[in-house]
Structure formats: structure tokens, C-alpha cells
Amino acid sequence: MATKLEKDVEALKKDIEKFRAHLGDTLSDVGNLSQEKVHETKERLRDAVDGFEGVARRRLGQANDAIHDRGERALEASREVVVSRPMTTVAISFAAGLLTAFLLERGK
């Protein structure tokens, strides 16, 4: 009986060693899959950020162009007013200067 028990113990030890080897391989495979998933996710995030950056640059460019155009139109409109009403423009500028000077002196 001792021999059968010894054989069973030896067989059990061999099975445990095989189990350890398979478990190690499985954990290694899971680790590799996890690293692969992390890499894929990282690539997708990088692509999403690049796409967002492109959209943001386009929108900022459009906003910059729109602001520039509005500024040009406002400047042209003010030039037209100055040309059409020079005395009114001088009077308003003078009054604005006096008001500014008064406020600055009052603040001292």
C-alpha cells in the first residue's frame, strides 16, 4: 500500500507542476493581452487627441478670420465717419480727453 500511496503522491506532484506551468503560461498570456489592450487604447486615445487638435485648430483659425474681418469692417466704418464728419469727430475726441483727464485727476 505504501507504494501505491507513494505513486499517487508522485503523480499528484507531477500534476501540480504541470498546473503551475500552465498557470504561468496563462498568466503570461493574460499579461501580454493586457499590454496589447493598453497599447491599442493608447493608440486610439492618441488618434482621438490628434483629431480633436485638428478640429480645434480649424475652428480657432475660422474664429481668428471672423474676428479679423469684423475688426477690418469696424475700422473702415470708423474711417468713413471721420471722413464724413471731421468736426464732430474732433469734438467727441476732445470731450473724451477732457473726461479722461478729469477722472484721472479726481482719482489722485
pLDDT digits (tens, 9 = 90+) for 49-68: 888 888 888 888 999 999 99
Supply 94's cell numbers.
476732445
Please tell me the distance from the alpha carbon of residue 32 to that of residue 26, in angstroms, as a whole number.
10
Per-residue pLDDT of the chain (108 residues; tens, 9 = 90+): 567 767 777 888 888 888 877 877 777 777 777 777 777 888 888 888 888 888 888 888 999 999 999 999 999 999 998 899 999 999 999 999 999 999 999 877
Please tell me the distance from the alpha carbon of residue 74 to that of residue 68, in angstroms, as a whole number.
10
Supply 64's cell numbers.
481668428
- pLDDT at position 2: 61
Question: Is residue 89 a contact partner of residue 82, using CB atoms and an 8 Å limit?
Answer: yes
- pLDDT at position 52: 82
- Number of domains within the chain: 1
Supply 38's cell numbers.
493598453
Question: N- to C-terminal Cα distance for the chain?
Answer: 112
- Mean of per-residue pLDDT scores for the chain: 85
Angle at 100 between CA 99 and CA 104, to 5 degrees: 120
What single-letter amino acid sits at 82? V
Q: What domain range includes position 100?
A: 2-106
Please tell me the distance from the alpha carbon of residue 20 to that of residue 28, in angstroms, as a whole number.
12
